Amino acid sequence: MANPLIDITQIKRDFQLGSETINVLKGIDLQINKGEYVALMGPSGSGKSTLMNLLGCLDTPTSGSYILNGKDVSQMHDDDLAEIRNKEIGFVFQTFNLLPRTTALDNVALPMIYAGFSKSERNERATEVLTQVNLADRMDHQPNQLSGGQRQRVAIARALVNKPSIILADEPTGNLDSKTSVEIMNLFNEIHKNGNTVILVTHEEDIAAYAHRIIRLRDGLIESDNQNTNHL
């Protein structure tokens, strides 16, 4: 691949637990191009979230290299990582992770504060992405005044607000019923069609079926990596 967006070589991640060293990621090689739509699967404990944390610059590897958008982020310190994260990565979590007692608009605008935009710029852009996720009529609602699917839409809008190069989602439908999950996956399809790179973790084959490439982890290594030509 020429200039992949994500270029990972022999990434290992160990955790120290007392006197014991746990080798969680055991040497992962992975390249992902701009605009790909990837599902990361594998049994519980296989290292999916650990890998997502590394991809999202929330963590750094014990060894190995990670070139993100041309920059080596594997040795970077926290301040620099935080800046890369804010610019390049949009996160979506299973539990939504929205601020309570804060409107949908303010939740979505929050990452733009750290990015240094003015209030009017923040409100304009947050309105635009909330409209994109079909929540134009819910902007003043707080999370507890929204359904689970609507909360996840707010979280997706927040992930998109700084126009990141990658959307990372760890079990984004894990707390949603199957009908709402389909709605959320249709939204990810749309986001992908708009040119975003999407990487999501899921346990469910029904959800992975939307992705164009399916990577399976087992015991800290990539077990298989296949194009999904019959994607939904």
Ligand X SMILES: Nc1ncnc2c1ncn2[C@@H]1O[C@H](COP(=O)(O)OP(=O)(O)OP(=O)(O)O)[C@@H](O)[C@H]1O
Q: Which residues bind ligand X (CB under 6 A)?
A: 15, 17, 22, 24, 42, 44-50
| Choices 40-48, 86-94, 98-106, 135-143 (CB under 5 A): range interacting with Mg ion | 40-48
Sheet holding 221-227, edge to edge: 89-93, 166-170, 197-201, 37-41, 213-218, 221-227
Of ligand X, Mg ion, none, which one does residue 213 interact with (CB within 5 to 8 Å by kind)? none
The smaller minimum CB distance to Mg ion, of residues 187 and 201, is found at 201
Within 45-84, which residues bind Mg ion (CB under 5 A)?
Answer: 48-49
Tally of CB atoms within 10 A around 223: 13
Number of helices (H), then strands (E), belonging to the chain: the values are 7, 10
173 binds Mg ion (CB under 5 A): no
DSSP letter (8 states) at residue 77: -
The minimum distance between CB 12 and ligand X, in angstroms, equals: 12
| Choices 18-26, 42-50, 147-155, 217-225 (CB under 5 A): range interacting with Mg ion | 42-50
**Pairing mode of beta strands 166-170, 89-93:** parallel
Answer for the pair 164, 5: CB distance below 8 angstroms, yes or no. Answer: no
The smaller minimum CB distance to ligand X, of residues 15 and 114, is found at 15
Helix (H, G, I), strand (E, B), or coil: what is residue 118?
Answer: coil
Nearest to 132 by CA among 174, 194, 87: 194
The smaller minimum CB distance to Mg ion, of residues 48 and 213, is found at 48
Whole-number Å distance between alpha carbons of 89 and 197: 10
92: enclosing H helix or E strand: strand 89-93
The footprint of Mg ion on this chain (CB under 5 A) covers a number of residues equal to 2
Of ligand X, Mg ion, none, which one does residue 47 interact with (CB within 5 to 8 Å by kind)? ligand X
Q: Which residue is nearest to Mg ion (CB)?
A: 49
The smaller minimum CB distance to ligand X, of residues 2 and 17, is found at 17
The minimum distance between CB 177 and ligand X, in angstroms, equals: 20
**Contacting positions for Mg ion (CB under 5 A):** 48-49
